[in-house]
Amino acid sequence: MNDRISWSVPEQLNMVTKHDQYVLEKNRSSTDEWHKTASTEDVNCPDDAYIDGRIANAAVDALQSVKDEPFFLAVGFNKPHLPFAAPQRYWDLFDRNKVPMPLAPRRPINCPAFALGAYSELRSYDDVVDTGPIPEEQIRQILHGYYAAGAYTDTNIGRVMSELERLGLHEKTIVVLWADHGWHLGEQDYWGKTTNFEVGTHVPLIVSVPGKSKQHSDALIELIDIYPTLTELCHLKPPIDLQGKSFAANLNHGGLPHKEAAYSQYPRQELSTGGEALMGYTMRTSRYRYTEWLRSNGSLRDLELYDHDSDPHETRNVGNQKTYAKAIALLSKQMHRDLVLPMPAHSIQTEGL
């Protein structure tokens, strides 16, 4: 979306159209901008035939223009995102028959029906079946396209980083790479984003700071933590009302903890009751993913609990097992405290458990 007030210069290439997403005219030809034709596209063309190549060009130009002054540059690439379209040379990097099929491709046992939805985005493309299972041959084509789109984005990121180094800026520039959400590639019988599962909420986060040694961290970090981290690293005074917490210390010591839990949320509708609105709040701790589905009046519709010690792919909701009752009570109390939510009408309590 346009957000003129947030930037010091006009945004570039921010509205993506069909002409940006496709090269083949047959995929561009519909007069309806919202009509989705092909879920993948494989064309022998230059990188800037697609929008991400042009975004990389714009980023390189921007670096050249600001190289002599302090700057903040936001570069957003669209891929990998549907449609999975990329120049042919990126498709050629992968053997379709060797692309791994989805892990845990069945819906979790005891999972509420509304928790996953119907992955309407992928099915909205003309070449994907509207109902029922997607044929294996097409699954491999879609996965192949995702890998190709990811490799294309890697190259575009590399172009920006190479220009940063060519200009001598890499020794005094902080770089953060992250994504806005995860993406199901058939896991849990779902394709796409907008879920409260690990696959839908876990994103890449890579931070490069001049002078810092390479570290890996398993700490729980949220995207709202990026801004306070940057203010600390840049010796800037942050606003006092930030919800995020700087993870600058983790860049020096990867083994440090950061937060007790990371939170996400996404709404659904309870179809069996005429489309009643539900909000799913999910928390990830070092061991569990715990999700509560609350009605608009704050009452609990359902809950999910996945034990990552024994079930890292979230294949079984154990929220109805008595052996986890105390863990659920503690997690619910923590969630409602951290998110400043009223305790739901079911009033999970720790007493007596």
Supply the CATH number for residue 53's domain. Answer: 3.40.720.10
Question: Is 149:80 a contact under the CB 8 Å cutoff?
Answer: yes
Q: How far apart are CA 65 and CA 52, in angstroms?
A: 20
Count: domains in the chain:
2
Domain assignment present for 255: no
Domain assignment present for 8: yes
**Quick count: other Cβ atoms within 10 Å of Cβ 76?**
11
Of 217, 244, 272, the domain-final residue: 217
Domain assignment present for 283: yes
- Domain containing residue 49: 4-217
Of 217, 246, 277, the domain-final residue: 217
pTM exceeds 0.85, yes or no: yes
Domain assignment present for 349: no
Same domain, 97 and 206: yes
Domain assignment present for 346: no
Residue 278: CATH number of its domain:
3.30.1120.10
Same domain, 68 and 13: yes
Same domain, 158 and 90: yes
Same domain, 191 and 286: no
* pLDDT per residue of the chain (353 residues) written in tens, 0 to 9: 677 888 887 776 666 778 888 999 989 877 676 788 999 999 999 999 999 999 999 999 999 999 999 999 999 999 999 999 999 999 999 999 999 999 999 999 999 999 998 788 899 999 999 999 999 999 999 999 999 999 999 999 999 999 999 999 999 999 999 999 999 999 999 999 999 999 999 999 999 999 988 999 999 999 999 999 999 999 999 998 899 999 999 999 989 999 999 999 999 988 776 788 999 999 999 999 999 999 999 999 999 999 999 999 999 999 999 999 999 999 999 999 999 887 665 545 433 33
Same domain, 190 and 73: yes
Same domain, 67 and 209: yes
